[in-house]
């Protein structure tokens, strides 16, 4: 049994925030942002649009592509760190929105690696024979946890959602492997200090900007490049493959410089590496499924293509996966 992708979908909010717009908000400029990150613009959710709204639209598009009804879905697992509420799981709200009444649903909190963590859980579930169909979603409203006065972070992130529908099938097409890692020793290099149970909500905390994302960009950069390279190599080795076998490298879209460094270390050529960070910035758990849907809807996947995915994020968490399309 193998978990095969039978549908993809994505949703990006309409509102575009360009680097030039950001120049009016914080002390930055288009040239700096492009040179250091490769990002030109990002999408921002409307005031009345939440993570569950975006995730629902992405999931509906994946179901439509596959011609599968919501009632047929057995499991919904969603990578997100910007859920509608601290709890319950936003995947449950998506389940209700879809009318997927036969599915159990939960969120995975693994920051930018959330989609790959969710993919691994769904693949294990389907290959164990417990269910037939699973929706794997990555959805984030990063704009809601970004400090819009902090130029070190606010230029990097964006909002969006992506989804894939997996089906348990016989054969050799589908998720071939997942390798996942965590290291909580680094949790405070990239995190949201408040308001969880350690630092509960307070007026003083708001003034100290505790409910907003904090990051030590330089440190994260170095560890991300090392980890993404190592875990991608591990995926290739585990499958008896080399870089030349990879049709598509679809990495987490954090920053063009990280992607270039990893691509080079893996000895991949530019044509193998899919990049859309210029258009959407870092949408955390959403970047990989959004990229998969873009490539798929452009008709650029062929049966048998080997897709290497890798992600790194807060936790720290990181991982890789290979899919035979
Ligand atoms: C954030 C990041 C782009 C910063 O680039 P960098 O080359 O490391 O830059 P530095 O942090 O060394 O800062 C260099 C200078 O630019 C300034 N700067 C930071 N943000 C700026 C901005 N938006 N516009 C203009 N200048 C900025 C800094 O204040 C610093 O100025 P100083 O030297 O006067 O103190 C980079 O560290 C990075 O991409 N890190 C990884 C982030 C990431 O992808 N995280 C998510 C992983 S899932």
Q: How confident is the model over 109-129, as a mean pLDDT?
A: 98
Express each pLDDT in 44-80 by its tens digit.
999 999 999 999 999 999 999 999 999 999 999 999 9
* Options 92, 154, 179, 252, the catalytic residue: 252
The size of the chain, in residues, is 325
- Catalytic residue check, 179: no
Rounded distance from Cα 189 to ligand 1 centre (Å): 14
Percent of the chain with pLDDT over 70: 100
Q: What is the pTM of this model?
A: 0.98
From the DSSP assignment, how many helices (H) and strands (E) are in the chain? 11, 13
pLDDT (0 to 100) of residue 184: 98
Contact of 319 with 236, CB cutoff 8 Å:
no
Measured by CA distance, the residue closest to atom 42 of ligand 1 is: 217
State which of 30, 36, 42, 222 you would mutate to test the pocket of ligand 1, scoring each by most atoms of that ligand within 8 A of its C-beta. Answer: 36
3-state secondary structure of 6: strand
Are 147 and 209 contacting, i.e. CB atoms less than 8 angstroms apart? yes
Q: Is 97 in the active site?
A: no
Give yes or no for residue 36 CB within 6 A of ligand 1: yes
Q: What is the mean pLDDT of the chain?
A: 98
CA-nearest residue for atom 31, ligand 1, is: 152
The contacts of residue 319 (CB under 8 Å, 6+ apart) are 113, 116, 117, 120, 178, 179, 180, 181, 231, 310, 311
**Closest protein CA for atom 12 of ligand 1:** 218
282 assigned to active site:
yes
**Ligand 1 midpoint to CA 14 (Å):** 27
Domains parsed from the chain with CATH numbers: 2-171 (3.40.47.10), 176-324 (3.40.47.10)
Instruction: Measure 184 CA to ligand 1 centroid, in angstroms.
Output: 23
For residue 276, the model assigns a pLDDT of 98
Which residues touch 236 (CB under 8 Å, ≥6 apart)?
242, 243, 245, 246, 308, 322
Q: Give residue 240's pLDDT band: very low, low, confident or very high (50, 70, 90).
A: very high
Phi/psi at 63 (nearest 5 deg)?
-65, -45
pLDDT of residue 9: 99
Residue 155 CB less than 6 A away from ligand 1: yes
Q: Which two tokens stand for residue 47?
A: 């005031």
Angle between helices 287-297 and 51-66 (to 10 degrees): 30
Pair 105, 77: CB distance under 8 Å: yes
Q: Is the CB of 213 under 6 A from ligand 1?
A: no
pLDDT the model gives residue 113: 98
Summarize the confidence of residues 167-188 as an average pLDDT. 98
Averaged pLDDT for residues 101-109? 98
Any idea what DSSP says for residue 270? G
**Span 136-150, average pLDDT:** 98
Q: In this structure, what DSSP letter does residue 179 have?
A: E
What is residue 323's predicted lDDT score, i.e. its pLDDT? 98
**Positive or negative, the Cα torsion across 45, 217, 222, 318?**
negative
Dist. CA 246–CA 248, nearest whole Å: 6
Please report which residue ranges of the chain form alpha helices under DSSP H. 19-23, 30-37, 51-66, 90-98, 114-127, 151-154, 203-207, 217-238, 256-265, 277-280, 287-297
Could you tell me if the CB of 312 is within 6 A of ligand 1? yes
């Amino acid at each position: 049994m193998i978990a095969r992708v039978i549908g993809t979908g994505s949703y990006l909010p309409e509102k575009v925030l360009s680097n030039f717009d950001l120049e009016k908000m914080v002390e930055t400029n288009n040239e700096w942002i492009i040179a250091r990150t490769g990002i030109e613009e990002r999408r921002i959710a409307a005031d009345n649009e939440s993570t569950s709204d975006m995730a629902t639209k992405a999931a509906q598009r994946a179901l439509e592509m596959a011609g599968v009804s919501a009632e047929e879905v057995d499991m919904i697992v969603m990578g997100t760190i910007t859920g509608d509420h601290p709890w319950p799981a936003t995947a449950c709200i998506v389940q209700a929105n879809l009318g997927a009444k036969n599915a159990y649903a939960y969120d995975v909190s693994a920051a930018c690696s959330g989609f790959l963590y969710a993919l691994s859980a769904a693949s294990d579930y389907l290959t164990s024979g417990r269910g037939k169909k699973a929706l794997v979603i990555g959805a984030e409203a990063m704009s809601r946890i970004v400090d819009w006065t902090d130029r070190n972070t606010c230029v990097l992130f964006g909002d969006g959602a992506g989804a894939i529908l997996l089906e348990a099938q016989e054969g050799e097409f589908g998720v071939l492997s997942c390798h996942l890692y965590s290291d909580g020793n680094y949790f405070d290099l990239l995190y949201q200090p408040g308001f969880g149970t350690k630092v509960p909500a307070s007026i003083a905390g708001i003034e100290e900007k505790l409910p907003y994302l904090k990051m030590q960009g330089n440190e994260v950069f170095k560890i991300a490049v090392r980890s993404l390279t190592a875990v991608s190599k591990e995926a290739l080795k585990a499958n008896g493959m080399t870089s030349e076998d990879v049709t598509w490298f679809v990495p987490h879209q954090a920053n063009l410089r990280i992607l270039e460094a990893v691509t080079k270390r893996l000895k991949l050529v530019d044509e193998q590496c899919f990049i859309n960070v210029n258009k959407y910035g870092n949408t955390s758990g959403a970047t990989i499924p959004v990229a998969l849907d873009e490539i798929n809807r452009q008709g650029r996947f062929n049966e048998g293509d080997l897709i290497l995915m890798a992600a790194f994020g807060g936790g720290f968490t990181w991982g890789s996966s290979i899919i035979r399309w």
